[in-house]
Amino acid sequence: MSIKVGFIGLGAMGYPIAENLAAQFDLAVWNRTRSKAEPLAAKGARIVDSPADAARESEIVVTMVANDAALESVVAGDGGIARALAFGAVHLSMSTVAPATIRKLAQVHRDAGSILVASPVFGRPDAAAAKKLWVCTSGPGAAKEKAKPVLDAVGQGTLDFGERVDAANVVKISGNFLLAAAIEAMGEAFAMVEKLGIDRAAVANAISQTLFACPAYKGYGAAIANKRHSPAGFGLALGLKDVELVLKTAHEVDAPMPTASLLRDRFLHALAMGRGELDWSAIALGAREDAGLKN
């Protein structure tokens, strides 16, 4: 008999994940806007009326919501999942939220007899649809073991970071920090080459074909070289939020991160220039302005 799974949050990332899970499990889905859930009924999912309903009979409930406040509300609010879950049932939290939020909600779950496993993912919606996500996990070992069939159904692999419950979220925001650092470095290099009269796009192409033959450098390299920062794949304001989460988390353990400090200043400059709605790669325009280039 199929495992009962709950799913909460059908945004751009959540929907394709839920669709994959519907094919394999007995799935109960909830979304704030119910109409977005309806196509999943045809795939065998039950649409329910509250997060608690999605959790009540499930062995595992997955959340993929927009931000920390939404996650707190879904877990610990009235009709939240922490109390609705059966004793020993598992909550897989896939959202990119603050490590501190994860620690706090893990305690809410413990108090209620259920278990939180952090499980943020690397990958865009198309990777979610193709089951090509990478899932980072952290939390109690037995709970991760129990959740394995669901984790396996979502991505191409699971990367575990131990028992410290917020570890996977630390890794997730660290990954975003590394991306932002690469964007900034390319921004500086491309501003220099442009002032020297060298073709930025040729340079972007060269480095992403040789030293950095990976999609991040290829995609962001081309975006920066062509100043193509709209529409936003990942919004600039969200990027700043993640960099500030990194700085805050590093602050908790007294770890200075000068590159993150530099990035924070670049994001603030971009906001000051009215670029909050652009893709976060638009921070690279700062290096151009520093060099006196017109944007």
Catalytic residues: 172
Task: Specify the residue, 12 or 178, whose C-beta has the smaller distance to a copy of itself.
Answer: 178
Residues 68-87 that bind a copy of itself (CB under 8 A): none
Which segment (4-12, 60-68, 74-82, 168-176) binds a copy of itself by CB under 8 A?
168-176
Task: Specify the residue, 115 or 284, whose C-beta has the smaller distance to a copy of itself.
Answer: 284
Query: Residue 168 contacts by C-beta under 8 Å, 6 or more apart in sequence?
Result: 118, 119, 120, 136, 137, 138, 139, 161
| Rg from Cα positions in the chain | 21
Minimal distance in Å, beta carbon 10 to a copy of itself? 24
Among 199, 226, 230, 277, binds a copy of itself (CB under 8 A): 199
Minimal distance in Å, beta carbon 45 to a copy of itself? 28
Is 98 within 8 Å of 150 (Cβ atoms)?
no
Give yes or no for residue 106 binding a copy of itself (CB under 8 A). no
Among 128, 246, 283, 285, binds a copy of itself (CB under 8 A): 246
Residues 47-66 that bind a copy of itself (CB under 8 A): none
Give yes or no for residue 202 binding a copy of itself (CB under 8 A). yes
Residue 172 has which token pair? 């997730």
| Range 98-104 contact pairs with CB under 8 angstroms and sequence separation of 24 or more | 98/68, 98/169, 98/245, 98/248, 98/249, 99/166, 99/169, 99/170, 99/173, 99/245, 99/249, 100/166, 100/248, 100/249, 101/68, 101/71, 101/72, 102/165, 102/166, 102/169, 103/165, 103/166, 104/72
Minimal distance in Å, beta carbon 5 to a copy of itself? 24
- Give CA–CA dist 86/206, Å, rounded: 55
Which segment (48-56, 112-120, 201-209, 227-235) binds a copy of itself by CB under 8 A?
201-209
Dihedrals phi, psi of 32, to nearest 5 degrees: -55, -45
Helical ranges in the chain per DSSP H = 14-22, 38-41, 51-56, 68-76, 81-84, 99-112, 125-129, 141-154, 167-195, 200-209, 215-225, 236-252, 258-272, 285-290
Task: Specify the residue, 50 or 205, whose C-beta has the smaller distance to a copy of itself.
Answer: 205
Task: Specify the residue, 3 or 185, whose C-beta has the smaller distance to a copy of itself.
Answer: 185
Give yes or no for residue 234 binding a copy of itself (CB under 8 A). no
Among 33, 126, 253, 294, binds a copy of itself (CB under 8 A): 253
- Give CA–CA dist 42/259, Å, rounded: 48
Site string for a copy of itself, 134-163 (x = CB under 8 A): x-x--------------------x-xxxx-
Give yes or no for residue 220 binding a copy of itself (CB under 8 A). no
Task: Specify the residue, 3 or 273, whose C-beta has the smaller distance to a copy of itself.
Answer: 273
Is 276 within 8 Å of 236 (Cβ atoms)?
yes
Residues 260-289 that bind a copy of itself (CB under 8 A): 260-262, 264-266, 268-269, 271-274, 287, 289
Give yes or no for residue 118 binding a copy of itself (CB under 8 A). no
How many residues bind to a copy of itself according to rule CB under 8 A? Answer: 76
